[in-house]
Amino acid sequence: MHTDPQPRLHTSGVTFVQPAKHIKPIQFECSAVENLCARVHHSVSLFFSIRSSANVEQIFYDLKQGLSLTMSEHPIITGTLRQGDRGEFSVEIPPEPHAGAYFHFSDTSNDTRFPSFSELQECGFPYVDGDLDGLREFRPDPFPTSEDGQPTFVAKICHVRGGIVWTGSISHLISDLGLGTAVMMSWAKYTKQVTEAAGKPVAIPRHLPWPDRKRLLPDVQSLFRAEEIGALNKNLKPYTVLDPTDPDKMVDDMTNVFVKAHVTEANPDQLEYFLEPTSGIWRFTPSKLRAFTDAVRRVDPSVKLSNFDIVTAFIWQRLSMAKRGNSPGNEPQTAQIVTAIDVRRKLSPPLPATYLGACVDLVRVCADRDVLVPHQDPWKGISGIAKRVREFGTAWNEADYMEMLKVSLRTPMCPGLIPRGPIDMLVTEHSMFGLGLRADWGGELGRSVAFREPYISRETPQGEVIILPTQPNGDLDVIISAEEIVLERLMADVEMSTVCKNVCVRHNVLESFASMAMKKAKL
């Protein structure tokens, strides 16, 4: 007797998407600043609620057609990374049929052990690490690396019961937030057009001009000799030039970018666990954020402080306290934080609005460590720190920036420049992604209800803060990455919990979900 096989709990697949029209093959160098960017594929995830009756195959097909049209407008996402002898990168747009990108798909909707969309929503969408939180179904696999021959872009959708999780990943070697935002908006626009056309042809967009990266590739004559690097490091205060002839010092420079957590726990067996970097999400609800920022602004109404200034100041103070624990460690007396600012419009003449290559600079603000110690009047203390944060980029100088780019092109290895530490944290504000978050994808997808930036195939930083765009319901979510002991201290921090609440700290979501389901079954 013939029996039907049991249905597969998970299905998956991948297709290679090509641009809707021919793209002329080309190869171009990444700019000096792009070669200084982190060698990662930066990932963003959108969460869409869909009806149980939705045709998911049609959604995937419409997204595939929308991606093809997006590639015609932004062909750099069809490219391949190429690497030179120093480690510097360029991008090759190969001839047909090799130009394109992989678009992955998986379906977990038949697996009751996998959380549904509503269950993920109830838990605050706890997606912070595509490798270590049990949600690998959401990430493309294989995932590209920053090596010769790897793609500049990859994407995936995962169907869960009641929803779609969309993830797109773009190499940081070809852009900053600008391109990622543009790709999200274009993909949404063209997917909506495809859906509404219902099989009829859709106009193919024109190819935007290739960014002229020559402005950010200043001419240099020769590489630095080993003896020149030592002299440079005495004067180049914001950065450290790595010296490949002194491997021990190079490792020391790279491992001391961030202030280290002070651990006094007696059990040495726990030390490795306490110092393991991890990530968590903290949430400022609209009402709490408004009450908090209003209280800080009332301290000195004559100074205009943005939400970014105030939130950054608060997290800087709490993170600094969590790093030191119950007693001061060996952190430097001068505390400093770093952020990336967009300098397209600061250059003279400014770069055009269509320039979507990376164009950022790292700027820092400093304060005496004692300033970060909580004040008797907490709002007065945060106000004072926020005034320092407000100074980010005010002293930016184009000549210094261009000189830094020249230095980066002369280092024996690439990247050969790193921020000089130790810094308390690298903070980045990603409100620009809000344009992509609010985009209308049409049809069953519509607009997404949540946004995440998971770490995928990359090391977790020991002091990074990412301020996400405001969620559609008004929540402001912040990702904090630091040592395990630091996040444990933040979760126990009364001042922290007064202003914002912890959504999650990196954990195996599937195991946690299974445990909750078991408890419910016993009730």
Per-residue pLDDT of the chain (523 residues; tens, 9 = 90+): 333 344 456 899 999 999 999 999 999 999 999 999 999 999 999 999 999 999 999 999 999 999 999 999 999 999 999 999 999 999 999 999 999 999 999 999 999 999 999 999 999 999 999 999 999 999 999 999 999 999 999 999 999 999 999 999 999 999 999 999 999 999 999 999 999 999 999 999 999 889 899 999 999 989 999 889 988 888 888 899 999 888 999 999 999 999 999 887 665 678 888 999 999 999 999 999 999 999 999 999 999 999 999 999 999 999 999 999 877 667 889 999 999 999 999 999 999 988 999 999 999 999 999 999 998 899 999 999 999 999 998 989 999 999 999 999 999 999 999 999 999 999 999 999 999 999 999 999 999 999 999 999 999 999 999 999 999 999 999 999 999 999 999 999 999 999 999 999 999 999 988 776 555 544 4
Residue 1 pLDDT: 33
Write the CA distances from 311 to 294, 323, 425, integer angstroms.
Answer: 12, 18, 13
Which is it for strands 277-284 and 239-241: parallel, antiparallel or unpaired? unpaired
Q: 92 in helix, strand or coil?
A: strand
Residue 270 pLDDT: 80
Number of residues written out for the chain: 523
Which residue do the tokens 């306290």 mark?
Answer: 321
Residue 51 backbone dihedrals phi, psi, to 5 degrees: -75, 155
Inter-residue long-range contacts of 346-352, CB under 8 Å, 24+ positions, other chains counted = 346/396, 346/398, 347/215, 347/398, 348/398, 351/215
Residue 516 pLDDT: 67
Cis, peptide link before residue 472, omega less than 30° from 0 = no
Residue 514 pLDDT: 78
The structure's pTM equals 0.95
Q: 45 in helix, strand or coil?
A: strand
User: How many other CB atoms are there within 10 angstroms of residue 121's CB atom?
Assistant: 16
Sheet holding 26-29, edge to edge: 26-29, 89-93, 80-83
Residue 180 pLDDT: 97
Task: Name the CATH code of domain 11-213 (choices 3.30.559.10, 2.60.120.10, 1.10.3720.10, 3.40.50.970).
Answer: 3.30.559.10
- Both structure tokens of 381: 């203390």
The dihedral of CA 8, 10, 14, 20: what is its sign? positive
Residue 523 pLDDT: 47
Sheet holding 153-160, edge to edge: 11-17, 101-107, 153-160, 163-171, 41-49, 450-452
Residue 234 pLDDT: 86
Write the CA distances from 149 to 100, 388, 459, integer angstroms.
Answer: 13, 44, 21
Whether the Cβ atoms of residue 111 and residue 514 lie closer than 8 Å to each other: no
Residue 486 backbone dihedrals phi, psi, to 5 degrees: -65, -45
Residue 62 pLDDT: 98
471: CB partners within 8 A, 6+ apart: 437, 449, 450, 451, 477
Q: Is 375 exposed, middle or buried (0-12, 13-18, 19+ CB in 10 A)?
A: middle
- Both structure tokens of 500: 């914002």
Over residues 409-420, the pLDDT tens digits come to 999 999 999 999
Q: Is 185 exposed, middle or buried (0-12, 13-18, 19+ CB in 10 A)?
A: middle
Task: State how far the Cα of 16 lies from the Cα of 49, in Å rounded to an integer.
Answer: 26
The DSSP result for 132-193, as a single string, is TSS-GGGS-SS---SSTT-BSEEEEEEEETTEEEEEEEEETTS-SHHHHHHHHHHHHHHHHH
Residue 325 pLDDT: 85
Residue 2 pLDDT: 38
